[in-house]
Amino acid sequence: MDHYRSRSPNSSYHSRHSAYDRERGDRGRNRCENQRLRPNNHRQHQSELAAEKNPQNSRALSTRRELYERDFPVYKQPVEVGNFSLDSERRFFNDSRQMRYYVEPDRNPNFNLRDGYKDRFIKRDDSVKEKLSHILRWVIANRSKLTTRMTTASPCALDVDFVTWRGHLTKLLTTPYETREGWMLAATKFRGTIYISEVETEAAQRERENRTERHEEMMYWGYKFEQYMCADNVHSAPDPDGVVNTNEAFCTVVQTRLADHRLLFSGEVDCRDKDPSAPAPPTCYIELKTSAEICTPKQRSNLHRFKLLKWWAQSFLPGVPRVVAGFRDHEGVVVSVETFHISKISQLIKNEYNCWRPTVCMNFCCDFLSFVKRAVTEDSHSVVYLFSWEPHKDVTYSVHRDSQYSFLPHWFIDEMSTRPDSHHQS
Q: Which residues bind ligand A3P (CB under 6 A)?
A: 219, 221-223, 225, 268, 270, 289-290
Binding partner selected for residue 290 from Mg ion, ligand A3P, none, CB under the kind-specific 5 to 8 Å limit = ligand A3P
Q: Which does 312 bind (CB under 5 to 8 A by kind): Mg ion, ligand A3P, none?
A: none
Shortest reach from residue 58's CB to Mg ion, in Å:
38
Q: Alpha-carbon distance 291 to 289, whole Å?
A: 7
User: Sign of the CA dihedral 254, 14, 176, 207?
Assistant: positive
CA 255 to chain centre: 13
Residues 296, 302: Cα–Cα separation, whole Å: 10
Dihedral, CA of residue 50, residue 55, residue 61 and residue 62, to nearest 10: 140
Which partner, Mg ion, ligand A3P, none, binds residue 219 by CB below 5 to 8 Å per kind? ligand A3P
Least distance from C-beta 217 to ligand A3P, angstroms?
10
- Least separation in angstroms between residue 332's CB and Mg ion is 16
223 binds, among ligand A3P, Mg ion, none (CB under 5 to 8 A by kind): ligand A3P
CB of 126 to ligand A3P, least distance (A): 9
Between 272 and 400, whose beta carbon lies closer to ligand A3P?
272
- Per DSSP, 73 falls in state P
Q: Which residue number is nearest to ligand A3P in terms of Cβ?
A: 222
Taking the complex as a whole, how short is the minimal distance between the CB of residue 200 and ligand A3P, in angstroms?
Answer: 12
Helix (H) or strand (E) holding 134: helix 133-142
171 binds, among Mg ion, ligand A3P, none (CB under 5 to 8 A by kind): none
Q: How far is the CB of 320 from Mg ion (least distance, A)?
A: 10
For ligand A3P, give the closer residue by CB, 45 or 289: 289
Residues 247-276 that bind Mg ion (CB under 5 A): 270
Residues in 192-251 that interact with Mg ion by CB under 5 A: none
Whose Cβ is closer to Mg ion: residue 19's or residue 288's? 288
Closest to ligand A3P by CB, 52 vs 207, is 207
Q: Kindly tell me which of 211 and 350 has the beta carbon lying closer to ligand A3P.
A: 211
Q: Of 21 and 268, which has the nearer Cβ to ligand A3P?
A: 268
Within 8 A by CB and 6+ apart from 46, the residues are none
How far apart are the C-alpha atoms of 220 and 137, rounded to whole Å?
28
User: CA angle, corner 204, sides to 317 and 89, nearest 5?
Assistant: 70
Q: Minimum distance between the CB of residue 340 and ligand A3P, rounded to whole angstroms?
A: 13
Helix axes 166-174, 308-316, angle to 10 degrees: 140
Q: Which residues of 41-74 are buried (b: 16+ CB within 10 A; e: fewer)?
A: ebeebeeeeebeeeeebbbbbbbbbebbebbbbb
Considering beta carbons, is residue 269 or 366 the nearer one to Mg ion? 269
3-state secondary structure at position 201: coil
**What are the counts of helices (DSSP H) followed by strands (DSSP E) for the chain?**
12, 19
* Euclidean distance between CA atoms 169 and 19, whole angstroms: 18
Instruction: Name residues contacting Mg ion, limited to 276-315 (CB under 5 A).
Output: 288
Q: How far apart are CA 240 and CA 309, in angstroms?
A: 30
Q: Which residue in 322, 200, 194 sits closest to 265, CA to CA?
A: 194
* CA–CA gap between residue 426 and residue 376 (Å, rounded): 33
Of 219 and 348, the one with the shorter C-beta distance to ligand A3P is 219
Smallest distance from the beta carbon of 386 to ligand A3P, in angstroms?
21
The interface mask with Mg ion, positions 350-379, x = CB under 5 A, is ------------------------------
- Which listed option, Mg ion, ligand A3P, none, makes contact with residue 358 (CB within 5 to 8 Å by class)? none
* Closest to ligand A3P by CB, 223 or 405: 223
CA dist 26 and 50 (Å) reads 16
> Which does residue 195 touch among Mg ion, ligand A3P, none (CB within 5 to 8 A, set by kind)?
none
Please report which residue ranges of 38-176 form alpha helices under DSSP H: 48-53, 133-142, 166-174
CB of 89 to Mg ion, least distance (A): 22
Nearer to ligand A3P, 271 or 384 (CB): 271
Q: What is the Cα–Cα distance from 284 to 277, expressed in whole angstroms? A: 10
The whole-angstrom separation of Cα 394 and Cα 208 is 25
Q: Cβ of residue 13: shortest distance to ligand A3P, in angstroms?
A: 30
Residue ranges in contact with Mg ion by CB under 5 A: 270, 288
